[in-house]
Amino acid sequence: MDNQQVKPDRGRRSFWTWGWQSDEPTLGQRQEMAKHLSKRFGRKISVPAVPDIEDLELRAPRISVPDSLRNIVTTDKAERVIHTYGGHFLELNRALRGDFAEPPDAVAYPQDENQVEAVLDWCDGKGYAVIPYGGGTTVVNGVSVPPSARGAVTIDMERLNQVLEIDETSRAARIQAGIFGPDLEDALRPKGYTLRHFPQSFPWSTLGGWIVTRSGGHYATNHTHIDDFVESVRMITPAGWWESRRLPGSGAGPSPDRMVIGSEGTLGILTEAWMRIQKRPVFRATAGVVFPTWEKAYTATRHLVQAKLWPANLRLLDPEEAGRAAGLNGKQALLIIGFESSDVPQGEFIKLAVDIARANGGQVDDDEVRVSDGAGQATGREGAVGNWRNSFIGVNAGLTNGLGLIGDTFETAITWDKWPEFDAEVRDKVGRVLKEVVGEAYTLSCRFTHVYTDGPAPYYTFSGMGAPGGEAEQWQTIKDAASEVLISAGATITHHHSVGRMHAKGWSRQTPRLYGSVLRAAKKILDPNSILNPGVLFEP
Ligand SMILES: Cc1cc2nc3c(=O)[nH]c(=O)nc-3n(C[C@H](O)[C@H](O)[C@H](O)COP(=O)(O)OP(=O)(O)OC[C@H]3O[C@@H](n4cnc5c(N)ncnc54)[C@H](O)[C@@H]3O)c2cc1C
């Protein structure tokens, strides 16, 4: 395949930070960050050079591409480099260090379903591992090549990127799996619609990736995961097509959609889906409520969500996060409340929500409760809420990559009855391990990304300075401690980051044993030669 043909229009993906080459930080920005970290940790930190792709050592492709597929399959070195890793910080770090021990042998760019099928048939016949690839933003090792593979082909879906049909009467759209978030919204916008699903990785991730990983958007209540927007799916498996019927709802047995949603490329390749869409919001209201303590803040959040006002957003930052991301004093917690609607003014709802927050110890001045009447006034972009929003959108892994920082997140969900004790246990046990592994100067903070009437979805962020060269082992020790607390406390191993290879063990511990056996049996039927994403979901 001619390399020019495979270049996406938006430029090339970066192999060492999230997004495209245009998202890569400059050397100056990285040096500034190194200076800041040197000061914080009292250690001289230098900035490693980014290797040139041409200088990287890759094993020769172990496969030969048949003539019939040469126009869509490439063994180009740069393509293999770009598709070796997902977006976990350790993966990006290995890439920056030039470690490409397990690259795919080839990358396919099918342009239609027939071509997806042809690549899958070829790999199935040869026993090559197939790695479906959307935006490559997985943070759970979902797109890496397992060392056991005798040959591996990554199928990049980015050319199946169209909104094919909009059914305005039913408010649904038929959309190809490889479309990136911004392109999807651009295609729906002219008719006034939106999918309204915005994971933090929105600019770089795809509809297919969202569906098969059960992605969580940034709205905190109602439709938190992509699941509820999926009307029907179309997936190709080595055993044939899996297409479900478009239905607004159905009580007919275990759902065929549910089997695909969350399958993480292990049962087939999702090519398109009918998605429920909605009118774009016009009316908005938002408030940032400050609480003197974390306890008061999460109690207020519980009362608020249980009042069933269904705000679009109810995002709670603990004092550490509110200090760092929103500029508060490090002792106060911040609750961001947001309402929106395409048809109904939201002023009354925010008033009720703020009343509940104040009754539970929250503080917000009346003039900081912003209500937009639909005439285009911005809300949620000012003050502490605006500060938080900018830091949320502006994340860039490349800034700290290679500087020795161990910085990661783990997210979960747990019922309210277990909540405060669970939080205390996480902070105690994970905090102790962090202290042992990276020393006193660690951080461990929490926010609620989503809240349900029966429990929150807490999202913990930790960081500390690692020992040069030992970051992977140190991270593993911290991750193991966190996973153990989650599973033994009765929480989930992941609320929205998915299972991948990283969480396969934890997931098998939290699901009924028989359920695991049933899924393995289903995989045997759909993927008899076990070529699809080996090691993802199911431990080898
Ligand atoms: C900065 C950052 C922020 C993030 N924020 C969020 C967040 O807010 N919410 C959230 O849920 N997640 C988040 N994630 C994780 C990640 O973005 C999601 O899991 C996302 O859904 C992955 O989409 P993708 O298109 O990048 O898929 P990929 O990373 O390419 O793939 C993910 C998995 O799905 C499989 N796959 C991809 N496409 C297909 C297909 N068409 N058919 C079958 N299998 C397929 C892959 O093999 C892989 O196992 C974040 C990640 C990063 C790096």
pLDDT in tens, 264-276: 999 999 999 999 9
Across 328-332, 392-396, 490-494, least confident range: 392-396
Q: Check if the beta carbon of residue 95 is closer than 8 Å to that of residue 143.
A: no
> For residue 181, how far is its CA from the centre of ligand 1 (angstroms)?
11
Asked if residue 59 has pLDDT above 90, the reply is yes
Bridge-based pairing of strands 333-341 and 313-317 is: antiparallel
Three-class DSSP category at 156? strand
Question: What does the pLDDT read at residue 396?
Answer: 85
Q: Average pLDDT of the chain?
A: 94
- Delineate the domains of the chain, giving CATH numbers in brackets: 3-156 (3.30.43.10), 163-279 (3.30.465.10), 283-377 (3.30.70.3450), 397-498 (3.30.300.330)
When pLDDT is averaged across residues 129-145 and rounded to a whole number, the result is 98
Three-class DSSP category at 194? strand
**pLDDT confidence of 10, banded at 50, 70, 90?**
low
C-alpha distances in angstroms, 66 versus 3, 69, 123, 152? 17, 6, 11, 15
Question: What does the pLDDT read at residue 7?
Answer: 38
pLDDT > 70: percent of the chain:
96
When pLDDT is averaged across residues 488-516 and rounded to a whole number, the result is 97
Query: Which of 82, 83, 84, 133 to mutate for ligand 1's pocket (most ligand atoms within 8 Å of CB)?
Result: 133
**pLDDT confidence of 11, banded at 50, 70, 90?**
confident
> For residue 43, how far is its CA from the centre of ligand 1 (angstroms)?
35
Asked if residue 87 has pLDDT above 50, the reply is yes
Name the one residue in this structure whose structure tokens are 């080459």.
Answer: 21
Measured distance CA(325)–CA(287) in Å, rounded:
16
In this prediction the pTM is 0.96
Q: Could you say which DSSP state residue 264 is in?
A: T
Measured distance CA(460)–CA(479) in Å, rounded:
11
Residue 151's CB: how many other CB atoms inside 10 A? 18
When pLDDT is averaged across residues 125-147 and rounded to a whole number, the result is 97
Q: What is the DSSP string of 71-121?
A: TTEE--HHHHHHTS--S-HHHHHHHHTT--SS--SEEE--SSHHHHHHHHH
Q: Locate the ligand 1 atom nearest the alpha carbon of residue 225 and give its number.
A: 11
Angle subtended by helix axes 419-438 and 294-306, to nearest 10: 140
Q: Locate the ligand 1 atom nearest the alpha carbon of residue 271 and give its number.
A: 41
Question: What does the pLDDT read at residue 395?
Answer: 75
Question: What does the pLDDT read at residue 235?
Answer: 98
Question: What does the pLDDT read at residue 527?
Answer: 98
| Binding pocket residue ranges, ligand 1, CB within 6 Å | 18, 86-87, 131-139, 142-143, 157, 177, 199-201, 205-206, 208-210, 212-213, 215-216, 264-265, 269-270, 395, 496-498, 500, 533, 536
Q: Which helix (H) or strand (E) holds 370?
A: strand 370-372
Token pair listed for 387: 């500060």
pLDDT in tens, 160-184: 999 999 999 999 999 999 999 999 9
Asked if residue 242 has pLDDT above 80, the reply is yes
Measured distance CA(262)–CA(163) in Å, rounded:
22
Token pair listed for 344: 């109904």
Asked if residue 391 has pLDDT above 90, the reply is no
> For residue 426, how far is its CA from the centre of ligand 1 (angstroms)?
26
> For residue 139, how far is its CA from the centre of ligand 1 (angstroms)?
8
In this structure, the residue with its CA closest to atom 19 of ligand 1 is 138
Name the one residue in this structure whose structure tokens are 């408030």.
Answer: 287
**pLDDT confidence of 241, banded at 50, 70, 90?**
very high
> For residue 141, how far is its CA from the centre of ligand 1 (angstroms)?
10
> For residue 471, how far is its CA from the centre of ligand 1 (angstroms)?
24
Question: What does the pLDDT read at residue 483?
Answer: 98
Residue 279's CB: how many other CB atoms inside 10 A? 14
> For residue 3, how far is its CA from the centre of ligand 1 (angstroms)?
25
Question: What does the pLDDT read at residue 252?
Answer: 96
Question: What does the pLDDT read at residue 9?
Answer: 59
**pLDDT confidence of 434, banded at 50, 70, 90?**
very high
Asked if residue 388 has pLDDT above 90, the reply is no
Q: What angle do CA 332, 440, 474 make, to 5 degrees?
A: 110
Measured distance CA(1)–CA(145) in Å, rounded:
21
